[in-house]
Structure 1
């Protein structure tokens, strides 16, 4: 079974406004309401690709119930902890001449809520996959990812971590199955600027030397690369297409990688499936669907 964790899920309210002006009444030309959060995105794309998962995390208030309803409507299983105080956040994404975002805070997560999440994670075992994705809310310990991985160490759970800076570096000692920074995040870790695959590869290998089994780097319009635990390097430009919405593309890449790996146990296939799944989401208003991914795979001769 695949499990995803989103500590601070959201309702994403995406609005299009022609020539937005501050201090004025602006009217939308388009609106989308979607469940948001990196782990939730992974679960949705996995479902679109034909694989079941269970979305874990915290929810609160009427917005939390709406997140659960939206996931159920997409046939995604969720098992959130119901937090007593506050409400799940609403993130507003304004698309106009410039893109702007206003992100909500989220509920007050207590130690007892975290303990309930740990009880659920204690059920994971040999062969399960766990995706830890995104930032950690200020109301939770900064070591939460480390604490989870230490708790599950030795149980045969394949853990995927999609996080930045210290959140990522600090878990490498627990040997995550896969990590997926982008080239800019990789550069931030080592204090360098990385723009080409030739520049990225040695630093990706450094993360592997620090403990990661497989390192996948997303590079937006320059595609991506994968350094595998058996010493292989795969790199590719992305399939061709028009970028419509980059939100969720990185999460889709993770879901695509897991799809390819689960179906074939082949890292090369997993890499290309991940690359095309991320691109399929970027080329659409919604998250990637299987037929879109397969079309893009064929365009790369896969």
Structure 2
């Protein structure tokens, strides 16, 4: 089977990142820097995988002037894509970076409505690509016109062709997606708490919560906790990773870098512990970069041994 990764972005965005010094809410702020990038979880994962020299194709919905700018950006970066065109405009998301305290505030549009005909065309496009794929990555929100259950349908389609699936979503999109049992999910701690309706304050509580999901058939639950590191849980194992010290520059893309490292690790047959090491290093390297820059494989590989790994179970 091909070593191809397909990333799905149902609700992509043109990311506009503005940097200000000392953001004053309700006051006048002058912009020091502006950057425009293609955005959306699946697209961000594709960018990182390209930097890892993996074979990746990005699919999803795209429309209007913003969509045209995103596709031009992907082509400049040499990322293969096969997006389904929509009659509505692809959304723009605003990220405001306060350089004084290195805090990012995100303001996201909902996205344009996808028609039933556009959805059908996308499903046919994805079906064709799945015949050549090893892994399907699904991430982010769903646009108006698409049901939250869509991820479950796409996961089932992939599994019917022997393609492994990774889901990185939240809310109802995650809840419905779990019904199709993706191989790997990567919620952050807040998304896991929201999903299960609990507050998780210790590693033991996180492991217990994750086991409720592995009992349903999820192979790996990888929980990210920002600067606190991450936990990977399977039916029989639990592993804790603590990141190396960095000067955080931007959290934009750190979680997506983790997902990309997970996909790359699955391609290369790494076990859960080594996958967690790669994912934690990738997220940390990206968080140390300004703006929307992401990690490259050689940078991640250099820091692998700096990730602290503790085997809790198994």
Partner of residue 248, structure 2: 243
In 2, Cα distance between the equivalents of 1:264 and 1:150? 22
In 2, Cα distance between the equivalents of 1:11 and 1:127? 27
RMSD over aligned CA atoms reads: 2.0
Gapped runs of 5+ residues in structure 1?
none
Partner of residue 312, structure 2: none
In 2, Cα distance between the equivalents of 1:81 and 1:217? 31
Partner of residue 5, structure 1: 8
Partner of residue 65, structure 1: 68
Aligned with residue 120 of structure 1, among 114, 122, 125: 125
Deviations 1:185-222 (Å, cap 9, x if unpaired)?
11122221113322211111111112211111111111
Q: Which moved more, 1:218-227 or 1:169-178?
A: 169-178
Partner of residue 192, structure 2: 186
Are the aligned partners of 2:222 and 2:230 in contact in 1 as well (CA < 8 Å)? Answer: yes
In 2, Cα distance between the equivalents of 1:277 and 1:238? 10
> TM-score, normalised on structure 1?
0.92
Gapped runs of 5+ residues in structure 2?
310-314
Residue 144 (str. 1) matches residue 147 (str. 2):
no
Q: 1:125 to 1:57 in 2, by over 3 A?
A: same
Aligned with residue 213 of structure 1, among 202, 215, 219: 219
Residue 29 (str. 1) matches residue 26 (str. 2):
no
In 2, Cα distance between the equivalents of 1:18 and 1:36? 24
Match of 2:259, SS state, is helix
Aligned with residue 55 of structure 1, among 50, 54, 58: 58
Q: 1:299 to 1:58 in 2, by over 3 A?
A: same
Q: How does 1:1-302 map to 2 (within 5 A)?
A: 1-21=4-24, 26-84=29-87, 86-96=88-98, 99-123=104-128, 124-125=130-131, 128-228=134-234, 231-285=236-290, 286-300=293-307
Are the aligned partners of 1:146 and 1:171 in contact in 2 as well (CA < 8 Å)? Answer: yes
Q: 1:263 to 1:150 in 2, by over 3 A?
A: closer
- How far apart are 1:25 and its partner, in Å? 5.3
Q: Which moved more, 1:3-12 or 1:27-36?
A: 27-36
Are the aligned partners of 1:7 and 1:137 in contact in 2 as well (CA < 8 Å)? Answer: yes
Are the aligned partners of 1:259 and 1:273 in contact in 2 as well (CA < 8 Å)? Answer: no
- How far apart are 1:93 and its partner, in Å? 1.1
